Structures are given as C-alpha cells and as structure tokens.
A = this chain, B = another copy of it.
Amino acid sequence: MASWFRRSRPRAEAPSLTQRDAAVAALRVDLAELTPPVEHFLGQCAALHMTFFEALSHATANAPRIADKDALARVCDISLRRYLALVAELERHKLDRTDVMEPHLIGVEEFERRTQGADWHEQVASAHVTIGFLTDFWMRLAGGLPSPTREAVQAALSEGDLQSPMHRIIEGQIAANPRLSSRLALWCRRLVGDTMLQARSALVFHGDHAREEAQIEPVFTELIAAHTRRMDRLGLTA
C-alpha cells in the first residue's frame, strides 16, 4: 500500500511514468477480482454520483458570472444523467435504491466534505480532479461486472463530456488570475490522497495481500498518470 501512496507525488517520478505506462499496458492486470458484487457496486457508484452532482451544483451556485454558471449547470445536467442511468440499472436488478445506496452515504459525504474547496476556484478544481480520477477508476472497476451490467455502467459513466467544460473554466480562471495556478496546483495535489482512498474503499479484498496489491498498484499508477496529464494540460504541477 505504501508503494502506491508514494505515487501520489508523481512529478518526482515523472520520467519513469511513460516507461511504466507502456509496461503496464502490456501486462494490464485489471481489477476484476477486486470488483464488488453488483449490488454493492451500483449502490456505492450511484451514491458517489449523487455527491458529484452535489459538488458540481455547489460550484454552479458559487460561480460569480452567468457564463460559468451556465457552463457548470450543463455539467450538472450530465452528472444527473449519469446518476439517473445508474439508478435505472439498479432498478433493472430489482434493487431498492435506498437499501443499496444508504450504506454508502456516510462514506461518500465524508469524502465530499474533505475535498470541498474553500472557494469557487478550488471547488471547480476539486470537481475536475476527483470526478476525473474516480470516473476513470469506476470505468475500470466496472470491467469486473457481469454483462450486461458492465456495459450499462460503462455507458452511464461515459455519458456526456464532464471534463472539457471544467478544464475550460479553470483555464479561464488561471488566465484571469495567474497567481491562482500555484494555489490550485497545491490544492489538486492535496486532493489525490483522499481521492485514492475513496477509490480503494470500493475494492473487495479476499485476503491474498501480495496478489491483491499487485493488481491494484499498476491501476493506480495509470490513474495517477492520467491525473498528471490532466494537470499538465492546465499548466499545473501535479
């Protein structure tokens, strides 16, 4: 576990990441064995998407200008589409949404509380980083679900484009106020630990510690690499 936590500071290791990426792609170990049962998966994933919607709508309300409010409202709309699609899948399985989502509520709300920024700039950055990372993670985790749930979940999580509008808003914020970039870089780095813990909380361990960590590590390495690229595109140090 310590080994992937060290990777929460990928910049220091950046030169080796590209090589690692290639190596990892070749050996690609997926998370199938650690994927929770359908009920647990859909319950936690839907509860998490509820908090994504809440964080995004909070950022919408705090946006000072109409252009950003409008752009964020459309992002909220996409996040609601994803949430509703997950609940629809849950109902296709004849699962009660309250029964399966409620047990995950405290965990996802604690995560939302820890990663909520102090102002509008940090709130948008948080949504961009945490939703980006966790969507990548849950897409990957869905690979371990049986068909056709796997396809339904992956379609739900692919609906719309959440990331580009948030990227453009953050880009605009930094252009208007270049001093913001060092604060946002620190804030986004700060988010990675909680985000990885949130991801890890979905995994189901069976007891073979060494084997399980060997499955997790390359996945988190890739997710951190994707995070680093997201930050790089904003000119932020990850």
- A interface residues, Cβ below 8 angstroms from B: 47, 50, 53-54, 57-58, 60-61, 65-67, 69-70, 73-74, 76-77, 80, 83-84, 87, 97-98, 101-102, 105
Contacts and interface: CB of A to CB of B under 8 A. Distances in A.
A77 B80 CA distance: 7
A73 B53 contact: yes
A47 B58 CA distance: 16
B60 A61 contact: no
Contact of A53 (B47, B60, B97): B60
A73 B151 CA distance: 24
Interface of A is mostly: helix
A70 B98 CA distance: 9
Nearest to A67: B98
B66 A57 contact: no
A87 B66 CA distance: 12
Contact of A102 (B57, B65, B76): B65
Given A53-B76, A57-B58, 4 more contacts: A57-B61, A58-B58, A66-B105, A70-B87
Contacts of A47: 66
A61 B105 CA distance: 11
Given A66-B102, A80-B76, A54 B61 contact: yes
Nearest to A74: B84
Contacts of A80: 73, 76-77, 80
Contacts of A61: 54, 57-58
Nearest to A62: B54
Contact of A98 (B65, B74, B87): B65
A45 to B, nearest CB: 13
Contacts of A74: 84
A165 B84 CA distance: 16
A83 B145 CA distance: 37
